[in-house]
Structure 1
Amino acid sequence: MLAARANTLIKSRSTWAASRVRYASTASEKDKFKVVVVGSGSGGLTVANQIYNRFKSAGKALKEGDVAVIDPAEFHYYQPGWTLVGAGLKEKASTRRPLASLIPSHLALIAENVTSFSPTTSSVTTTSGRTISYDTLVVATGLQINWGNIAGLPKALADPSSGVSSIYSYDTCDKVWHDIEALRSGRAIFTQPAGVVKCAGAPQKIMWMAWDRYQQTKRGDNITIDFYTGMPTMFSVKKYSDELDKLRVRRGVGGHFQHNLVAVDSANRKATFKRADGTTVNEDYTLLHVTPQMGPLDVIKNSPIADEVGWVSIDKETLQHTKYPNIWALGDCSSAPTSKTAAAITAQAPVLTENLFSVVDTGKLSGARYDGYTSCPLLTGYGQLMLAEFKYGLEPKETFAILGDQKSPKRLYYHFKKDLFPWSYWNFMVKGTWFGTWGIRPRFPAASD
Structure 2
Amino acid sequence: MLAFASRSKALVKRAPAAARWASSAASKDQFKILVVGGGSAGLTVANQLYKRFKSAGKALNEGDIAILDAAEYHYYQPGWTLVGAGLKQKEETRRNLDTLIPSHLAHIPENVKTFEPKSNSVTTASGRKIGYENLVVATGLQTNWSSIPGLEKALADPSSGVSSIYSYNTADKVWRDIDALRSGKAIFTQPAGVIKCAGAPQKIMWMAWDRYQRTGRGDTISVDFYTGTPSIFSVKKYADALNELRIQRGVGGYFNHNLVSVNPDAHRATFKTPDGTVDVEYTLLHVSPPMGPLEVMKDQPIVDQAGWVSVDQATLRHTNSEFGNVWALGDCSSLPTSKTAAAITGQAPVLTENLFSVVDTGKIANAAYDGYTSCPLLTGYGQLMLAEFKYGLEPKESFANILGDQAIPRAAYYYLKKDLFPWAYWNHMIKGNWFGSSGFIRPSFGQ
Common topology (TM > 0.5): yes
For residue 294 of structure 2, the aligned residue among 292, 297, 306 is: 297
Alignment partner of 1:269 is 2:267:
yes
TM-score, normalising length from structure 1?
A: 0.94
Task: State the 1:369 CA deviation.
Answer: 0.4
Residue matched to 1:76: 74
> 2:210–2:380: 8 Å Cα contact kept in structure 1?
yes
Task: State the 1:25 CA deviation.
Answer: 6.5
Alignment partner of 1:313 is 2:310:
yes
Task: State the 1:300 CA deviation.
Answer: 1.6
Q: Which amino acid aligns with 1:410?
A: R
Residue matched to 1:5: none
> 1:351–1:444: 8 Å Cα contact kept in structure 2?
no
* SS at structure 2 position matched to 1:141: coil
The ranges of structure 1 where at least 4 consecutive aligned residues each deviate by more than 3 angstroms after the TM superposition are 12-17, 21-29
Residue matched to 2:352: 353
- Give the whole-Å Cα distance in 2 for the aligned partners of 1:445 and 1:371: 12
CA deviation vs aligned residue, 1:386-439 (integer Å, no higher than 9, x gap): 000000000000011112211000000000000000000000001000000001
Q: Which amino acid aligns with 2:317?
A: Q
Residue matched to 1:431: 431
- Give the whole-Å Cα distance in 2 for the aligned partners of 1:157 and 1:56: 47
Q: How does 1:47-196 map to 2 (within 5 A)?
A: 47-196=45-194
Identity of aligned residues (%): 70
* SS at structure 1 position matched to 2:440: coil
Residue matched to 1:405: 405
- Give the whole-Å Cα distance in 1 for the aligned partners of 2:399 and 2:433: 21
> 2:26–2:107: 8 Å Cα contact kept in structure 1?
no
- Give the whole-Å Cα distance in 2 for the aligned partners of 1:173 and 1:430: 22
- Give the whole-Å Cα distance in 2 for the aligned partners of 1:414 and 1:263: 34
* SS at structure 2 position matched to 1:378: strand
Task: State the 1:445 CA deviation.
Answer: 5.2
Task: State the 1:299 CA deviation.
Answer: 1.7
> 2:26–2:66: 8 Å Cα contact kept in structure 1?
no
Task: State the 1:26 CA deviation.
Answer: 6.5
> 2:22–2:103: 8 Å Cα contact kept in structure 1?
no
Distance 1:423 1:14, change over 3 A: closer
Task: State the 1:178 CA deviation.
Answer: 0.2
Q: Which amino acid aligns with 2:285?
A: L
Residue matched to 1:370: 369
- Give the whole-Å Cα distance in 2 for the aligned partners of 1:377 and 1:94: 19
Which sections of structure 1, spanning at least 5 residues, go unmatched? Answer: 1-9
Distance 1:286 1:242, change over 3 A: same
TM-score, normalising length from structure 2?
A: 0.94
Task: State the 1:382 CA deviation.
Answer: 0.2
Residue matched to 1:388: 387
Q: Which amino acid aligns with 1:283?
A: V
Distance 1:232 1:22, change over 3 A: farther
> 1:367–1:444: 8 Å Cα contact kept in structure 2?
no
Task: State the 1:24 CA deviation.
Answer: 7.0
Distance 1:91 1:15, change over 3 A: closer
Residue matched to 2:3: none
Over aligned residue pairs, what C-alpha RMSD do you find? 1.8
- Give the whole-Å Cα distance in 2 for the aligned partners of 1:13 and 1:304: 25
- Give the whole-Å Cα distance in 1 for the aligned partners of 2:191 and 2:267: 19
Q: Which amino acid aligns with 2:128?
A: R
Q: Which amino acid aligns with 1:393?
A: G
Which sections of structure 2, spanning at least 5 residues, go unmatched? Answer: 1-5
Residue matched to 2:219: 221
Task: State the 1:13 CA deviation.
Answer: 3.9
* SS at structure 2 position matched to 1:428: helix
Task: State the 1:442 CA deviation.
Answer: 2.0
Residue matched to 1:282: 279
> 1:236–1:394: 8 Å Cα contact kept in structure 2?
yes
Residue matched to 2:419: 419
- Give the whole-Å Cα distance in 1 for the aligned partners of 2:278 and 2:445: 47
> 1:78–1:95: 8 Å Cα contact kept in structure 2?
yes
CA deviation vs aligned residue, 1:23-80 (integer Å, no higher than 9, x gap): 9766654100000000000000000000000000111100010000000000110000
